[in-house]
Structure 1
Amino acid sequence: MIFLHIYFYLVLPVLVTFFSATHRLDYLFTATTKNSGLPSVVAVAIIDGVQIEYYDSNIKEVILRQDWIENVLEPKTWTTHVEDAIEQHYKMERALERTMMQFNHTKGVHTFQRMIGCELDDDGTIRRYWQDGYDGKDYTIYDEKTQTWTAAVPQAVNTKLRWEADPVFKQYIRNLFQLECVDWLKNYIQYGRVKRKVPPEVRLLEKKAGHSAGSVVTCHVTGFYPREVEVTWLRDGQGPLEEGVWSGEVLPNMGGTYQVRKTLTVSPEEQERHRYTCQVDHASLGRR
């Protein structure tokens, strides 16, 4: 484990440590009724928060969003990849039609969304998920452990029962997760830039609190990749602190890295009595 201390203003150090990376591949599909003025189906593939592919029903082609994907896909494999995208296109249109029937919807603008994905840890642990939604609300959710489905609304019960009773569909799910998600994710990790790890830059920024004599100290962590990061404030080596702490969202930078801020508000009395540390955990940092 590497410990890096940077002293700034109130002797507030930064502690940088290591944790294992998790890579994630998501396929997001949206089907919309054809009177909406939008493509009837849009699909995107996202790896570690970065969009890598785009497809819609108007163009009927897979558009690469990252040049390095070409190194992963051989010409024969690419042809199959496009065929799979077109197949999913028609599956989504049928899913929207069936779901509208379950709700007795015959007109108006409606959407059916599907998220299929998998996560792979450095230690080989794999998690798989599938979730459907209709008009912005959950519809069905797959439970990987029990290999069963949850019907989030009464209209989804028939779909749940049909899928759970269909051995062909169960095999389809297993193949889809393994061939289209886990195997692809491993290929992307092996050949793509997802294997890269960029360490964070950490700065502590202090300003006086607006209506008191205390201080507001922001731990600004930026320039890191992959996206997963843990930033915590410690007091006298103990934590994580929650009181007086505001957490920002992880945001993208130009160039494919990320940044995040975590801000601590501390009184003069607390500054005198305690030692505060910003701890940053990221997969790019080695062990020792």
Structure 2
Amino acid sequence: MDDQQILHYDSETRREEPRGDCVQGAVDPDFWDGETRSLRGWQWGFEANLVTLWQRYNQTSSDCGQTGMDRTMEDPGPEGVSHSPFMYGCELGEDGSAGGYMQFSYDGGDFLSCALRTRTWVAVVPQAQITQRNWNEDKALLTARAYLEEPCIEWLQKYLQHGKAALQSKPPMAQVSDKPSSRDGLTTLSCQVHCFYPKYVAVIWLKNGEAQPQETSCSGVVPSTDGTYHTWVTIEINSSSNHNYTCNVEHMSPDADLQVAWDKSRKGE
């Protein structure tokens, strides 16, 4: 939900489990048993679909790519791995508007997608045309598409209610440190920014109040175990520098922007 994982199932555990706070208390205990049975059926279906797709694309085991995302199943060939991701979701706007999407891919390329307005499947590639015709004639799959417009939105609202606290914006915290660089005569200043949500943040080093984008090196934003995010940025300076360096952080949380200055008097501590 948004950028937080809330549910997890894989073919090794064969069990769906909650992730994060959004689903805690939102469902009954027997919910997980029912969902697990359903997803085991999905797993079997994906394995069967991969055999069909293999034949449809006229591939051999040596031709199989190894790219994919989300739910993936191994192909029946002795070498290589093919992937058939299925992705769907529903969206709820602040104004109450609702939307959704549902699409299949194969080995990194689009295969089939759902047009919600017409409630029809659309073939993205020629290999999907047979599936498109069959699925558009299957009334049971009409129910699957209708799921995005009602039940999915209802579940989204339920998760939002239970996970309201977890999804609230959290302002970042920042800490500046220094250490000798691997290059002689230089010092690496590091700014560690953590405990913020959502993940979008801008961090840059300032030299005497001026931004240093070319000299600033960023690690990327990564998730923490508590649902927040952290990142760090560095800059290399002359160890004898008398300039003032400040880590500047901008985040969408209210009153979240902050600046943390490098304390030259504690250099190397």
TM-score by length of 1: 0.57
Could you tell me whether the CA contact under 8 Å between 2:24 and 2:162 is conserved in 1?
no
Partners of 1:127 and 1:270 in 2: how far apart?
55
Deviations 1:185-228 (A, max 9, x none): 3321211353344432211223454436555332211123x352
Give the aligned partner of residue 190 of structure 1: 161
Which residue of the other structure, out of 114, 120, 123, is the alignment partner of 2:86? 114
More strand by share: 1
Q: Partner letter of residue 54 of structure 1?
A: Y
Q: SS at 2:50's partner residue?
A: helix
Count of aligned pairs: 235
Do residues 175 (structure 1) and 129 (structure 2) align? no
Of residues 188, 198, 203 in structure 2, which corresponds to 1:232? 203
Q: Deviations over 1:115-153 (max 9, x none)?
A: 32356676768774444343x4224264879988573x6
Structure 2 partner of 1:217: 189
**1:223/1:75 CA distance change after superposition, 3 Å:** closer
Task: Name structure 2 gaps, 5 residues minimum.
Answer: 61-75, 258-269
Q: Alignment partner of 1:206: what SS? A: strand
Q: Tell me the equivalent position of 2:9.
A: 54
Residue 104 in 1 paired to residue 58 in 2?
yes
Q: Distance in 2 between matches of 1:258 and 1:180?
A: 30
More helix per residue: 1 or 2? Answer: 1
Displacement of 1:53 in angstroms is: 3.4
Q: Which has the larger radius of gyration?
A: 2
The answer to whether residue 39 in structure 2 is matched with residue 85 in structure 1 is yes
Identify the residue that residue 279 of structure 1 maps to in structure 2. 249
CA RMSD, Structure 1 to Structure 2 (Å) = 4.7
Aligned to 2:233: 262
Matched-pair contact (CA < 8 Å) for 2:116–2:145:
no
Deviations 1:78-117 (A, max 9, x none): 6764565355345423432321221235850544222323
Secondary structure of 1:216 counterpart: strand
User: Which residue number in structure 1 is paired with residue 221 of structure 2?
Assistant: 250
Give 3-state SS (helix, strand or coil) of 2:214's partner. coil
- The question of whether the paired residues in 1 share the 8 Å contact of 2:170 and 2:198 is answered with no
Offset at 1:50?
A: 3.2
